């Protein structure tokens, strides 16, 4: 492991991200803030939804913001570097093992996912109003879940970026990401699917469910949610699997 090279690569990705910080924030925050305004402010103020829905919505919005930011931060540049700019060839010539290049991509994506998640908290809170009943009584548990969700997003972006071709980007969002987000318990607790028992247990294959329910259990424990230890264990296990898959695909793609 060449730590000097690893830090230089990470610094370079950080410099690129800082140069486009405004566009990245707009890209990652626009959709979540629109959802919070429409569902958390307009519909609750008009009486079509109860005010308590705000507490259900905000943890899910944080999760979706982190997932989208992490996936896009890693997958989109990888697709470009492998198939268009061929910039990845310069990185592959660096004095560092290919697996550590993948790890660097994951860490860079995690940082962007964490920034997106932390920025959306005050923005969405202000958007929905002060009646949102969110608690930060367990900051260390919240920080641990944020790291697990960010790792899931970045590692998932690595796996997708090494698996999807440039002509399949639209397919990635429409067939993979959109169903994962819609059935990821982002806008509703998992227990609300009990009227659809088959679907309720099928969505447990979706890692976004554990991200949304885990953050909901930490920030809004009064809302029905999957037990925190279950969501934390599931996220940790899924993260390990996705990291191994992403690194394997990256090495294979680099060789080919």
In the block, tokens 């370079």 appear at 12
Instruction: Express each pLDDT in 78-115 by its tens digit.
Output: 887 776 666 666 666 667 787 788 888 899 899 989 98
- Residue 57 in contact with residue 44, Cβ under 8 Å? no
Length of the chain: 256
pLDDT at residue 255 tops 90: no
Instruction: Express each pLDDT in 120-171 by its tens digit.
Output: 888 777 777 666 778 888 899 999 999 999 999 999 999 988 887 666 676 7
| Residue of higher predicted confidence among 80 and 61 | 61
Six token digits for residue 80: 């470009």
Q: Which of 165-169, 204-208, 214-218 has the lowest mean pLDDT?
A: 165-169
In the block, tokens 């994506």 appear at 109
Nearest Cα residue to 134 out of 201, 78, 216, 237: 216
Would you say the pTM of this structure is higher than 0.75? yes
Nearest Cα residue to 153 out of 235, 219, 56: 235
CA distance 21 to 111: 12
């Amino acid at each position: 492991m060449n730590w000097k090279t690893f830090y230089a690569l990470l610094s370079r990705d950080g410099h690129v991200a800082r140069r486009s910080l405004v566009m990245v924030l707009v890209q990652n925050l626009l959709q979540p803030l629109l959802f919070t305004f429409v569902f958390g402010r307009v519909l609750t103020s008009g009486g079509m939804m109860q005010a308590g829905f705000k507490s259900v919505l905000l943890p899910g919005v944080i999760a979706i913001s982190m997932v989208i930011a992490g996936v896009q931060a890693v997958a989109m540049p990888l697709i470009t570097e492998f198939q268009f700019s061929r910039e990845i060839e310069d990185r592959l010539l660096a004095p560092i093992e290919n697996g550590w290049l993948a790890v660097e991509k994951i860490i860079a994506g995690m940082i962007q996912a964490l920034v997106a998640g932390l920025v959306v908290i005050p923005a969405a809170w202000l958007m929905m109003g002060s009646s949102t009943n969110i608690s930060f009584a367990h900051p260390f548990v919240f920080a641990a879940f944020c790291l697990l969700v960010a790792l899931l997003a970045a590692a998932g972006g690595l796996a997708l970026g090494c698996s999807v071709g440039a002509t399949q980007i639209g397919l990635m969002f429409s067939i993979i990401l959109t169903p994962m987000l819609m059935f990821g318990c982002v806008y509703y607790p998992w227990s609300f699917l009990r009227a659809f028992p088959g679907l309720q247990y099928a969505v447990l294959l979706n890692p976004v469910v554990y991200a949304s329910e885990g953050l909901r259990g930490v920030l809004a424990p009064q809302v029905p949610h999957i037990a925190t230890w279950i969501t934390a264990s599931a996220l940790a296990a899924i993260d390990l699997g996705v990291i191994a898959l992403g690194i394997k695909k990256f090495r294979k793609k680099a060789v080919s």
